[in-house]
Amino acid sequence: MRFNLAEESFAMQASPSKARAEALESHSWSLVLEWLSKLYHPSPIPAFERNSFTLQALQSLMGENIAAERLRDLVYEAQIEELFTTTTTTTTNEKDKDKDTLSAQNDSTNTTTTTTKDPRNLLYRIRSSLSKPSRTALDSISEAAVIAGCSASSSSAGGSSRQNKTILQDLQSHITSLPIQLFKLETQLESIDDLISNLQGEIEQFQKSTSSTKNKSRTRSRRKDRSTTVPSGTGGGRSISSPPQTPTTLSTMTFPNDDDDEDEDDEDDRHYTTLHAETVQHQRETKQLTIKCAEYTERIASLERQASVSSSTTTNEPTLADVAEKQVLVTQKRKRVEHLGKKILQFHSLPPDLDASRTEVRRAQAELELLKNKRDDLFAQLGSS
């Protein structure tokens, strides 16, 4: 047993990566067990098999649980803040209306101070008095404020709470600023795409130049090999490309060409090293730009999700212009209804049958003619007398 422990300790010392992995695994298990103890308190943690798959599953569950609790706390704080701002504005309005009654004002201030001291009690009371649609609207506004990341106004400032912005106003300003942020990110993405295309074009040109330089170096090496070939055998078998080897031709052809080829090879090597360095730099910049492009794409997607959630949760409240336009339409319809009512009253005494109503109209017209004639006779008698 001691021998096995010594072997394990020696293996851990020999491989620090294994020791680091075991230390990380033990730290992860301690965090998971601490979370499980808080979750099952006061009951003990149930027995389970400890392996890598169980650890991975428990870590994922722990992360999701912590994120859900954080989101719930943020929604709760947003609800308290929104209710606090609305209640403080309503109480201040009631104070302005009830300035004449001093006793009622003192009672209202006392009740507001006692309720605003405990925002949790205030939230519980108001939620219990709200209807189901109002509760859903409050929850949706709070979740939208948390998702959009609206800055919470200071709810502790009792006197200046009227001047602070509410969560709904922060949401509206955030929604109006979303298209500007999207436009900026899209322009940055377009510029990054242009840079990537330019870098790809430069890389292609560099590859073409490197291939051409390699071909040139290969041809030069072949020429050098051909020029430096010696005759094989004793019968005067010479190279095809070399002339008869006299002392003058050897001295003039071999040695000066070797020096020139070495200089050209050195220049090619320097050019190749510079091109290789530029290629590495371009590849590094391309990697950085691709990472930034992915980050900007993710940010645009999150902003679009926030805009969709905020637009779906916020209610379209009517403005003053809409109210004025609807009031004008209502007045016009009211006048039309009055005109039609007067017109209907003219046919009130007629019978429902069409022929009978026509005879009644003819009788009324004949009676009207008789009355007109009688009026004319009376006017004539008055004029003659």
Q: Is the pLDDT at 302 greater than 50, yes or no?
A: yes
In tens, the pLDDT along 98-116 reads 554 544 445 444 444 444 4
Task: State the pLDDT confidence band at 333, using cuts at 50, 70 and 90.
Answer: very high
Separation between Cα atoms, residue 122 and residue 84, nearest integer Å: 8
Cis check: omega of the bond before 351, within 30 degrees of 0: no
CA dihedral 85, 88, 89, 91 (to 10 degrees): 160
pLDDT of residue 88: 63
Q: What is the DSSP-derived secondary structure letter of residue 153?
A: P
Q: Which of 171, 153, 172 is closest to 86 using CA atoms?
A: 153
Q: What is the CA radius of gyration of the chain?
A: 47
Question: What pLDDT was estimated at residue 9?
Answer: 44
Name 130's Cβ contacts closer than 8 Å, sequence gap at least 6. Answer: 138
Most confident of the ranges 240-254, 298-312, 369-383: 369-383
Half-sphere CA count of 316, side-chain side, radius 13 A: 3
Query: If you ran DSSP here, which 8-state letter would residue 347 be given?
Result: T
3-state helix, strand, coil in the chain (%, to 5): 80, 0, 20
Sign of the Cα torsion 98, 104, 105, 107 reads negative
Q: How far is CA 252 from CA 101, 143, 248, in A?
A: 123, 90, 6
- What distances in angstroms separate CA 144 from CA 122, 148, 175, 347, one per listed residue? 22, 6, 11, 59
Q: Is the predicted pLDDT of residue 141 greater than 50, yes or no?
A: yes
Where exactly are the structural domains of the chain? 23-85, 350-384
CA dist 19 and 12 (Å) reads 5
User: What pLDDT was estimated at residue 350?
Assistant: 77
311-320 mean pLDDT: 63
pLDDT, greater one: 335 or 110: 335
The answer to whether the Cα torsion of 63, 64, 65, 71 is positive or negative is: positive
One-letter amino acid of 382 = L
Please choose, from the candidates 366, 210, 186, 219, the residue with its C-alpha nearest in 3D space to the C-alpha of residue 282: 210
pLDDT for residue 369: 93
What mean pLDDT is predicted for residues 54-82?
Answer: 83
pLDDT, residue 84, reads: 67
- Asked if pLDDT for residue 246 goes beyond 70, the answer is no
